[in-house]
Structure 1
Amino acid sequence: MRKKLLMGAAATAAFALVLTGCAAGDTDSGSAGGLQIDVPDVPAHEKMGDFESEVNIVAWSGFVEDAWTEAFEKDTGCVVNRRVAGTSDEMVQLMRTGDYDLVSASGDASLRLIAGGDVQPLTLDLIPNFGDDIVEGMKGQLYDTINGKSYGIPIGRGANILQYNSEVVTEEPTSWDIAWEADSPYAGKIIAYDAPIYIADAAVYLMAHEPDLGITNPYALDEKQLAAAVDLLKQQNDIVSEYWSDPAAQITSFAGGTTVAGTSWEVLRKLTENEKFKSVLPEEGSTGWSDAWMLATESKNPNCAYAWMDYASSPKVNGAIAMNFGMAPANAAFCDMSDEAKAHCDYYNATNEDYFKKVWFWTTPIEQCIDGRTDVKCTNFQQWTDAWVTVKN
């Protein structure tokens, strides 16, 4: 199971210096053009040639398995070499070695790779399976679409939901308030995510409960808004029993009774294998994550890499990846392939865009306000990292 940890201070400081360009167009989170910023002018691979002999992939555990690589290797002659990474930071570092062609990047890594010139824009015509069946909510997003160019081929997505022990929390929660407010009846048994990006979860709550702060995107916080989010996180710290970054630790905390409510992924609730653990996407909405295949700028095997992206985007293979990891697949056609597939898609809300419209997918904070503001500078991830250190002290 992956741990989506975030980059160190030195890396984030360098990244913040890169992503400081002025907005050049629509920066709405639903814009099909994605974000408008200055990034390296990297050429795209525009025409398929002969397959090379291999493709080297950095991926989350469960994304590249023998069960579906064998047919690909037989059909293309491209041997799949997999390197499993445990964190987004590790993925970025590995991609910068020049030894890998593809990476299954999350939104907290993709902007780093694009801004660093480490990945190239994609020629979508070379990926036939990136078509009408790819869910609309995973196309043209801020974290992998820059200046109208697509840098990522969607794999799957998930929400950071509120999980609870229904034997203790006997009424289904409708709000995150039980996990954030000082007077929560479950104080001392709340679990929270342990990473600077969790500041965005506080921002989502403030968007609903303190509208005067003017937060319209939880990843676009000016200094005053960041301070408010940190104050809320410090308040939450007094009622938190445990912070988690290792999914196994989160499961153990719920199963052992240390925790009765808090932030989770749908797959973690499922893995507890106990019907008393339930989950809900509260009325305020939530943060979430979305993964995409991204192609190295200096890929030595671009034809095999494009072939893999197309193969892995087919309904059968994309669905196998989604079921293996525990997330909503990107290719909606998978959901009609069998009763099992339909049940999986229903569980993870795969084609429910109304559900995912309430989810703010992880996007690395940058000094350019991605909510469209130009009269103020937003805080970058280095500032978030520094702020996070103060939350638990």
Structure 2
Amino acid sequence: MTKLIQSRRRFLGTAMGAGALLASPAYLRSSAAQTGGVVNIWTYDEFIPDDVKKDFEKETGIEVRIRLVDDQGKQFNLLVAEQPNPSVDILTVAGHRFLQFIDSGLIAPMDTERLANWGAINPVYSESDWATINGEKWGVPILSGAEIMAYNTDYVPEDRRNTWDTLFSEDYKQQTAYIPSDLMSIVMLYLGYDGNMIEYMDDPDEAARIVAEARDFLIEKKPLVRKYYDSGAEIQQMLVNQDVVLCHAWNGPISKLIMDGLPMGMSIPKEGSYGFVYTLNVANNAPNADNAYKFLDAMMASSEIGAAMTQSTGFISTYKGSAEHLSDLEKAAASFPEEQLENLQFFRAEANDMKYALVDPAVEEIKAS
């Protein structure tokens, strides 16, 4: 998966900031007397709003110790090295990597009965197929990234902004760009198939046929595309220069352009798209599991917290009602209408070995055609 290009601090340019939103620790008023102790968290920079941390510590007496991580693989390796006695209670895992952590016994199933605020999460995220493995929930969804269709609002009319048909239209010949390896899953979905390829794990011949069909589709459409790009920074520059007016991209780079005032928009088209979710998970054998659950419940206590995380990171909030606390510009940059969110599916890893053994050579054939 192409790494998302985020510009987190600049995303705050027009925001009120998390402090203004979270000035009151009212979300913790149901807490009993202070319990003390610690909770150790591994997470990305700015994923935990500072006011949430401070208010939680004040109300519970529990010290929140945060260790910043910047790579899922490094986090996995560190947790493996610490087993069976990890130093962490809560860690941040991308949903499409759940299987790696679950199969290695590194995270524990989530006991949602201990989370009074579980219902604060939009079921698009909490109840999707990716979120349940072996009949268990494995994390609290907090932030999401998605593959989207991005467009220059001066050139793409409103009635053409919600379908992948537009990306493949002769009307925008040589005005489009995309990354073929990222787009392949969406093309399979566009053609009516399971882009995760889980449905075909027991039928490798059918899997191969579907990938070949998607490959041939993109080869047929190749004369229409201006460029196969490689990075978020590259597509940003192409859009700024108006080398292209329409593209497939991850939402992060496009959010940055919207916040910078460019005439850009993005959608999750009606045919569907794929995304991933960052989740907060309880480590297996967590040394302070009770405190971990208290902190997770506090994190889900209000939609303002979800908005604050969006403002600090640029990712899409998973919280119900969080968009109500964003400015119009922030909504355009980091939220989607409910009807578009319903078009979003999530990456799953069960068939990845088979999938990429087929997709990677197909992408090379597309580029070489």
TM range (shorter): 0.7 to 0.9
Mapping of 1:109-258 within 5 angstroms? 109-131=97-119, 133-169=120-156, 172-174=159-161, 175-180=163-168, 183=170, 185-187=172-174, 189-193=175-179, 196=181, 198-207=183-192, 215=193, 217-220=194-197, 221=200, 222-235=207-220, 239-245=225-231, 247-258=232-243
Deviations 1:300-324 (A, max 9, x none): 3323332332222221323311232
The answer on 1:264 being equivalent to 2:249 is: yes
Q: CA deviation at 1:51?
A: 5.5
TM-score normalised by L of structure 2: 0.73
Give the letter for the 2:80 counterpart.
R
Distance (whole Å) between structure 2 residues aligned to residue 89 and residue 230 of structure 1? 30
Q: CA deviation at 1:206?
A: 1.5
Is the contact between residue 365 and residue 380 of structure 1 (CA under 8 Å) also seen in structure 2?
Answer: no
Deviations 1:327-357 (A, max 9, x none): 4422325455x5x47885687556x543222
The answer on 1:277 being equivalent to 2:264 is: yes
Match of residue 57 from structure 2: 73
Q: Structure 2 regions of 5+ residues with no counterpart? A: 6-33, 201-206
Distance (whole Å) between structure 2 residues aligned to residue 94 and residue 389 of structure 1? 34
Q: Percent identity?
A: 19
Kindly indicate which of the two structures has a greater share of residues assigned to helix.
2
Mapping of 1:253-332 within 5 angstroms? 253-266=238-251, 268-272=253-257, 273-315=260-302, 316-332=304-320
Among 360, 363, 380, the alignment partner of 2:345 is 360
Alpha-carbon RMSD across the aligned residues, in angstroms, is 3.4
SS at match of 1:73: helix
SS at match of 1:179: coil
Match of residue 35 from structure 1: none
Give the letter for the 2:135 counterpart.
G
Distance (whole Å) between structure 1 residues aligned to residue 361 and residue 97 of structure 2? 19
Give the letter for the 1:219 counterpart.
N
Distance (whole Å) between structure 1 residues aligned to residue 4 and residue 255 of structure 2? 19
Number of residues of Structure 1 aligned to a counterpart in Structure 2: 321
Match of residue 14 from structure 2: none
Alpha-carbon distance change, 151 to 179 in structure 1, aligned in 2, over 3 angstroms: same
Give the letter for the 1:261 counterpart.
L
Q: Report which stretch shifted further, 309-318 or 381-390.
A: 381-390
Distance (whole Å) between structure 1 residues aligned to residue 234 and residue 362 of structure 2? 24
Give the letter for the 1:156 counterpart.
L
Distance (whole Å) between structure 1 residues aligned to residue 128 and residue 40 of structure 2? 26
Distance (whole Å) between structure 2 residues aligned to residue 280 and residue 267 of structure 1? 13
Alpha-carbon distance change, 117 to 141 in structure 1, aligned in 2, over 3 angstroms: farther
Q: CA deviation at 1:93?
A: 3.9
SS at match of 1:57: strand
Is the contact between residue 58 and residue 83 of structure 1 (CA under 8 Å) also seen in structure 2?
Answer: yes
Q: Structure 1 regions of 5+ residues with no counterpart? A: 6-48, 208-214, 368-377
Distance (whole Å) between structure 2 residues aligned to residue 363 and residue 135 of structure 1? 19
Match of residue 13 from structure 2: none
Q: CA deviation at 1:168?
A: 4.1
Distance (whole Å) between structure 2 residues aligned to residue 301 and residue 387 of structure 1? 47
Q: CA deviation at 1:126?
A: 2.0
Among 366, 379, 383, the alignment partner of 2:354 is 379
SS at match of 1:96: helix
Distance (whole Å) between structure 2 residues aligned to residue 234 and residue 94 of structure 1? 42
Give the letter for the 2:300 counterpart.
S
Deviations 1:258-283 (A, max 9, x none): 33211234554342123422223333
Q: CA deviation at 1:70?
A: 2.6
Is the contact between residue 106 and residue 290 of structure 1 (CA under 8 Å) also seen in structure 2?
Answer: yes
Match of residue 3 from structure 1: 3
Alpha-carbon distance change, 283 to 77 in structure 1, aligned in 2, over 3 angstroms: closer
Alpha-carbon distance change, 296 to 250 in structure 1, aligned in 2, over 3 angstroms: farther
Distance (whole Å) between structure 1 residues aligned to residue 99 and residue 41 of structure 2? 21
Alpha-carbon distance change, 298 to 385 in structure 1, aligned in 2, over 3 angstroms: farther
Q: CA deviation at 1:73?
A: 3.3
Give the letter for the 2:195 counterpart.
P
Distance (whole Å) between structure 1 residues aligned to residue 113 and residue 282 of structure 2? 15
Alpha-carbon distance change, 254 to 164 in structure 1, aligned in 2, over 3 angstroms: same
Q: CA deviation at 1:205?
A: 2.0
Q: CA deviation at 1:155?
A: 0.8
Distance (whole Å) between structure 2 residues aligned to residue 96 and residue 317 of structure 1? 31
Alpha-carbon distance change, 206 to 298 in structure 1, aligned in 2, over 3 angstroms: same
Relative CO higher for 1 or 2, CA cutoff 8 Å, sep ≥ 6? 2
Give the letter for the 1:379 counterpart.
M
